[in-house]
């Protein structure tokens, strides 16, 4: 073990690009002491071993030369998770603490312990564990370089830290959320904190941004999911696609305030996709009604086309400087956009299956008749 220890100290020092002198300086010791460790003449005391392991971002076991058994770590984590599932929260905390003593610088152990403390804090309303949970997540963040799980990243850990801080330090949490608010992903959390701080105007501005995000994502989700369902050519999936589009259409109809805006164009597009679905279901009467409404909306939009929605929808409480412009790949005008849907111009390399195109032909034919009137 001693030979392995001295070799490991030298190995990890070099991996960090440090000289013996620099390592000695970092620990406030002499170069001779480091030289003796690496030559195997002496070994560090237990506290220095723990500090060295933390400095090298490894466990004490690894520094001493023991291999950290992946299976052993996984077994510990599985045992903790089983205890949590059985609602044995205090036992889960106890096992996490034992794992932290054994693997004080193991990323996976620290992160799983943070999750354990987080679950117990939420399930039992234990405010006493809140600081410990934050501390563990922050420790995991420092060891993120050990992470091999693609579903875990710095952002997800910082998000957990910000959410926890919002429980007892909203001002600090607010700043944490602002740091990670990529593409508005933390807007809802920011809005809630601002509301709790009685900063209502600012909170309503953020809530409005959330609404815009919901509108865009609900359109992207429903239209894309509906097309995927239609491509299967299964009756049950076709009916589900129709219902899904109805769901999104209702959201848009209840959000528009009667003004012509980008939502008008998107409603026309949604109704057209629904008409295509109805054509596949051979429900030609409702198909024609859908296209009639789509054409009416498209003509209204094309009289003054634009990509804005600011102040033109219900529930708008954004600040004056927030004027989002929304774009799509279909075309400038709504009628052109519907033409593009039928011609599949947005996705020339991923067209509908031939049998689906055949079933959509009645809808395309009726659309062209409407336009020619």
Predicted confidence (pLDDT) per residue in 47-62, tens digit: 888 889 888 877 777 7
pLDDT at 63 (0 to 100): 81
Q: Phi/psi of residue 313, each to 5°? A: -135, 165
pLDDT for 68 equals: 53
Q: Where are the domain boundaries for CATH 1.10.260.40 in the chain?
A: 2-64
C-alpha–C-alpha distance, residues 105 and 54, integer Å = 6
- Interhelix angle 89-102/107-124, nearest 10 degrees: 160
What are the tens digits of pLDDT across the range 199-227?
Answer: 999 999 999 999 999 999 999 999 999 99
Alpha carbons 155 and 181: distance in angstroms, whole number: 10
Instruction: Inform me whether the pLDDT recorded for 345 exceeds 80.
Output: no
At residue 95, does pLDDT exceed 60?
Answer: yes
pLDDT, position 373: 78
**Rounded distance, CA 342 to CA 285, Å?**
19
Is pLDDT of 346 > 70? no
Q: CB–CB of 341/316 below 8 Å?
A: no
Q: What is the pLDDT of residues 247-261, one digit of tens each?
A: 999 999 999 988 899
CATH code of the region 2-64: 1.10.260.40
C-alpha pair distances (Å), 41 with each of 222, 233, 366: 69, 76, 90
Please report which helix (H) or strand (E) contains residue 31, including its range: helix 31-39
Which residues, in sequence order, are CB contacts of 242 under 8 Å at separation 6+? 226, 274, 277, 278, 281
- Higher model confidence: residue 66 or residue 243? 243
Q: How many angstroms from the chain centroid is the CA of residue 11?
A: 38
Using alpha carbons, list the distances in angstroms from residue 144 to 17, 107, 309, 344, 361: 19, 7, 41, 44, 54
Quick one: what percent of the chain has pLDDT higher than 70? 96
**Strand, helix or coil for residue 12:** helix
Tell me the percentage of the chain whose pLDDT exceeds 90.
Answer: 65
pTM of the predicted structure, to 2 decimals: 0.72
Instruction: Delimit the CATH 1.25.40.10 region(s) of the chain.
Output: 70-180
CA distance 218 to 248: 7
pLDDT of residue 51: 87
Q: How confident is the model at residue 82 (pLDDT cuts 50, 70, 90)?
A: very high
Distance CA 263, CA 252 (A): 7
The CATH number of 70-180 is 1.25.40.10
Determine which of 57-66, 74-83, 324-333 has the lowest per-residue pLDDT on average: 57-66
Q: How far apart are CA 258 and CA 170, in angstroms?
A: 38
More confident residue, 54 or 89: 89
* 170-186 mean pLDDT: 92
308 forms beta bridges with: 325
Per-residue pLDDT tens over the stretch 276-321: 999 999 999 999 999 999 999 999 999 988 888 998 999 999 999 9
Burial class (CB in 10 A: 0-12, 13-18, 19+), 109: buried
């Amino acid at each position: 073990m001693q030979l392995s220890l001295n070799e490991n100290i030298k190995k990890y020092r070099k991996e960090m690009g440090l000289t013996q002198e620099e390592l000695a300086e970092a620990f406030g010791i002499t170069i001779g002491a480091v030289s003796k460790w690496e030559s195997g003449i002496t070994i560090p005391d237990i506290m220095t071993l723990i500090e060295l392991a933390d400095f090298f971002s490894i466990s004490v076991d690894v520094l001493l030369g023991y291999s950290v058994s992946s299976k052993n770590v996984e077994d510990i984590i599985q045992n903790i998770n089983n205890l949590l599932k059985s609602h044995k929260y205090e036992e889960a905390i106890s096992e996490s603490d034992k794992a932290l003593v054994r693997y004080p610088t193991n990323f996976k152990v620290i992160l799983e312990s943070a999750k354990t403390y987080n679950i117990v804090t939420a399930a039992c309303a234990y405010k006493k564990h809140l600081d410990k949970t934050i501390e563990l997540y922050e420790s995991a963040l420092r060891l993120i370089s050990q992470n091999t799980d693609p579903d875990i990243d710095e952002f997800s850990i910082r998000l957990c830290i910000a959410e926890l801080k919002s429980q007892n330090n909203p001002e600090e949490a607010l700043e944490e959320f602002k740091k990670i608010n990529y593409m508005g992903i933390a807007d809802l959390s920011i809005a809630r904190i601002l509301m709790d701080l009685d900063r209502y105007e600012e909170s309503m501005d953020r809530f409005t941004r959330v609404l815009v995000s919901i509108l865009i994502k609900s359109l992207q989700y429903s239209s894309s999911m509906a097309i995927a369902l239609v491509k299967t050519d299964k009756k049950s999936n076709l009916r589900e696609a129709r219902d899904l589009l109805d769901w999104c259409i209702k959201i848009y109809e209840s959000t528009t305030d009667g003004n012509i805006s980008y939502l008008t164009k998107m409603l026309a597009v949604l109704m057209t996709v629904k008409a295509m679905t109805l054509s596949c279901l051979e429900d030609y009467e409702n198909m024609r009604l859908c296209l009639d409404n789509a054409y009416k909306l498209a003509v209204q939009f094309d009289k003054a086309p634009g990509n804005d929605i600011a102040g033109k929808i219900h529930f708008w409480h954004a600040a004056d400087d927030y004027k989002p412009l929304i774009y799509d790949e279909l075309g400038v005008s709504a009628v052109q956009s519907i033409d593009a849907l039928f011609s599949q111009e947005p996705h020339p390399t991923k067209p509908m299956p031939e049998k689906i195109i055949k079933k959509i032909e009645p809808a395309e034919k009726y659309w062209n008749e409407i336009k020619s009137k």
